[in-house]
Amino acid sequence: MLKWLLFLFSSLFAVEIEFGGAPLEVEVASTSKERGLGLAGRSSLSENSGMLFVYEKPEVVRFWMKNTLIPLSIGFFDAKQTLMQVENMDVPEEGKKQRVYTSKRPVKYALEVPQGWFDRHHAKPGMKFNFTEPGK
């Protein structure tokens, strides 16, 4: 319940991005508090939405699915918004050790979307995402 209240009162804002011709509305997590909470506690995530984690400078990042209720895919992007790596993250089984998903190189962005989204949109390393203007 506390995490849900933190979400309601967080300073997250949404932006539109485009990746591989597909539009996405993403919440931006740019502070350590926002990145730490991520999508934990959410019971659903629509097909064309996600969360974009933004880091001050490129760094090797680690993600896990603590308190996450839905399977996700994560794309790791460099400072030029170029896809470097995709991982599918499963909801952990109760009582089992949490798996950690680590970027292989320093990244500036990480994008969480519904599991399989990158596969459904034929994502390949080297593809870029772009910020778009709302409504376009």
pLDDT of the chain, 136 residues: tens digit per residue: 334 434 444 556 889 999 999 999 999 999 999 999 999 999 999 999 999 999 999 999 999 998 899 999 999 999 999 999 999 999 988 888 889 999 999 999 999 999 999 999 999 999 999 998 655 5
**pLDDT for the residue numbered 3:** 43
Q: Kindly report the three-state secondary structure assignment for every residue of 41-89.
A: CCCCCCCCEEEEEEEEEEECCEECCCCCCCCEEEEEECCCCEEEEEEEE
134/42 Cα distance (integer angstroms):
24
**pLDDT for the residue numbered 95:** 82
CATH superfamily of 2-128: Protein of unknown function DUF192 (2.60.120.1140)
**pLDDT for the residue numbered 102:** 98
**pLDDT for the residue numbered 92:** 87
The residue ranges of every structural domain in the chain are 2-128
Look at residues 120, 93, 89, 122 and name the one whose alpha carbon lies nearest to residue 103.
89
Model confidence pTM above 0.95: no
